[in-house]
């Protein structure tokens, strides 16, 4: 097993910090990447951080995480959460633990946001902590994999 955590972000998260700050906060995706890097380094881990608006990219990166023997995978599937059997199928090929993150509390929003295909295979789900949820996910991964320092 490698010391690398993959952090994958789905559609529209490239807009983080530029639109709807009352919902998603003011941190940009670049800020979130820095937070993930700092948190991972604190546990002696490395991060591969990616975002795409295209489902196939995310599926390819999940395959990459498997080939790379990633320690774990953190994913905010965004709008693909509720629709993507293809992302679920890719995640099913991973042995490493998967942590699902949502910036907002999806259970306190519209009903359609509550159903998640990804939750079927997630070791844990973090939602509602804003972008801090990414740091919590990496610390949680470090704990469950025994990498916590
Ligand atoms: O709360 C989350 O992290 C979500 O995964 C965000 C998704 C939404 O579809 C999920 O239900 C919950 C939306 C991501 C859109 O990101 C934006 C960021 C800034 C401005 C506009 C959109």
Tokens, residue 123: 């070791």
Beta-bridge partners for 9: 51, 76
Pocket flag, ligand 1, residue 89 (CB < 6 Å) = no
Range of the domain at 18: 4-44+64-128+141-145
Domain count along the chain: 1
In a domain, 135, yes or no: no
Task: Name which residue sits closest to atom 16 of ligand 1, judged by CA.
Answer: 13
In a domain, 20, yes or no: yes
Task: Name which residue sits closest to atom 7 of ligand 1, judged by CA.
Answer: 78
Q: What element of type H or E holds 64?
A: helix 55-67
Phi, psi dihedral angles at 28 (to 5 degrees): -85, 170
Q: The domain spanning residue 122 has which CATH number?
A: 3.40.50.9100
DSSP of 81-136, one letter per residue?
A: TTT-HHHHHHHTT--S-EEEEESS-GGGS-GGGS--SGGGT-SEEEESSTTHHHHH
In a domain, 36, yes or no: yes
pLDDT in tens, the chain (149 residues): 899 999 999 999 999 999 999 999 999 999 999 999 999 999 999 999 999 999 999 999 999 999 999 999 999 999 999 999 999 999 999 999 999 999 999 999 999 999 999 999 999 999 999 999 999 999 999 999 997 66
Q: Does the model's pTM come out above 0.95?
A: yes
In a domain, 19, yes or no: yes
């Amino acid at each position: 097993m490698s010391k690398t955590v993959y952090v994958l972000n789905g559609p529209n998260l490239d807009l983080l910090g530029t639109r709807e700050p009352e919902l998603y906060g003011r941190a940009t995706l670049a800020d979130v990447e820095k937070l993930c890097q700092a948190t991972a380094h604190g546990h002696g881990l490395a991060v591969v951080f990616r975002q795409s608006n295209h489902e196939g990219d995310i599926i390819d990166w999940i395959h990459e995480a498997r080939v790379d023997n990633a320690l774990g995978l953190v994913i905010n599937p965004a709008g693909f959460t509720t629709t993507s059997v293809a992302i679920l199928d890719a995640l099913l090929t991973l042995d490493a633990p998967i942590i699902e993150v949502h910036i907002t509390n999806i259970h306190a929003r519209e009903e359609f946001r509550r159903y998640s295909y990804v939750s079927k295979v997630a070791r844990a789900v973090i939602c509602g902590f804003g972008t801090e949820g990414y740091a919590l996910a990496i610390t949680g991964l470090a704990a469950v994999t025994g990498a916590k320092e």
